[in-house]
Amino acid sequence: MFETIWFLLWGILWAIYFMLDGFDLGLGTLMPFVSENDTDRRVVYNAMGPFWDGNEVWLITAGGVTFAAFPTAYAVMFSTLYTPLLIILFALIIRGVSFEFRGAIDSAAWRSLWDTCLFIGSVVPALLFGVAFANIFQGIPFDAKHVFQGNLFTLLNPYGILGGVLFMALFLLHGCLWLAIKSEGSLLKRAGSTAGALWVALLLVAVLFLVFTWFATPLYANYLNNPILFIIPLLAVVALLVTRVFIGKREWWKAWFASCLTIAAAVMFGVVGLYPNLYPSSLDKAYSLTAFSAASSPLTLKIMLVVALIFVPVVIAYQAWAYHTFKDKVTDEVLASEEAY
């Protein structure tokens, strides 16, 4: 029982991370294309400035849960996916540094350097997280000794790349909606028009991914065996359609929350389809790691559950306060303050 609970919590924590940090990654990727001048770029920085490091807490939490609840899966995952995960780590470091270093020197070339770093530090994780999860969905080629039989290019297969494109499309739309919430004037208009175009692109990629998933993975087996579970992908579809409705009405907060639900439901579609596999092998089903074979002891899982039930709501409450405190638009007055990026 505790193995199943933690499997679901594992998926939920990843969903929360992608739901929150997704708009940061999307904004960093969008910045060169929606910003016409340095003021626009500063609006982008300050739109995510109060939130990005708090959002990263969920990445640490998801990784920590993987380590504590499923240590065997954690070890094999960080062994087989070592290269992409290390690239993601370096990209996130570069991204974090860019916030602090950009304004350190009053030089256009210096600012351009760190703007480029923010772009690279955003687009690389967005793509590689999608590549990694798509490969997990279809199975990673590791043997009975948990040795990876491939390299980075093995992971860059058509389905893996499509997963990366899907994550990128989700995050771009998510970030565009957040920019519409936080900006004014011409930047708001560009964000709004770009959101409409990105929604169409996301719809096309999502349909292609769902069709490809049928042929490339066993994810649909759980849904066919338990049709009630189809409510999860249906929720993702409805949320995506509702997002478009709110974009048309220019109700940006509602559109952003609908986008949050789209991302969360999309992630849970894959997680529920995996169960009970946590880290499947594409070479032989017998090599796969499940929620039961890779889990810590029942006592450990029980203690962790008590701790999680106490502290996760505290983190959620703190982040809710932070989002409420910095809910207003990034105005000229905000940019003129000493605390602004």
CB 134, CB 147: distance < 8 Å: no
pLDDT in tens, 261-312: 999 999 999 999 999 999 999 998 999 999 999 999 999 999 999 998 898 8
Burial class (CB in 10 A: 0-12, 13-18, 19+), 44: buried
Q: CA-CA distance, 177 to 199, in Å (whole number)? A: 10
Q: What is the pLDDT of residue 335?
A: 84
| Confidence (pTM) | 0.94
pLDDT in tens, 32-51: 999 999 999 999 999 998 99
CB 133, CB 166: distance < 8 Å: no
Backbone angles phi, psi at 279, to 5 degrees: -145, 85
Residues in Cβ contact with 141 at an 8 Å cutoff, skipping those fewer than 6 apart? 148, 149, 150, 154, 281, 282, 283
Q: Enter the tokens of residue 336.
A: 């003129």
> What is the DSSP annotation of 16-64?
HHHHHHHHHHHHHHHHHHH--SHHHHHHHHHHHTTTHHHHHHHHHHHHH
Distance of CA 158 to the CA centre of its chain: 20
Q: CA-CA distance, 5 to 315, in Å (whole number)? A: 20
Spell out the domain ranges in the chain.
2-336
Q: Enter the tokens of residue 174.
A: 């998510």
pLDDT in tens, 115-168: 999 999 999 999 999 999 999 999 999 999 999 998 888 999 999 999 999 999
Residue 70: left if φ>0, alpha if ψ -120 to 50, beta else—which one? beta
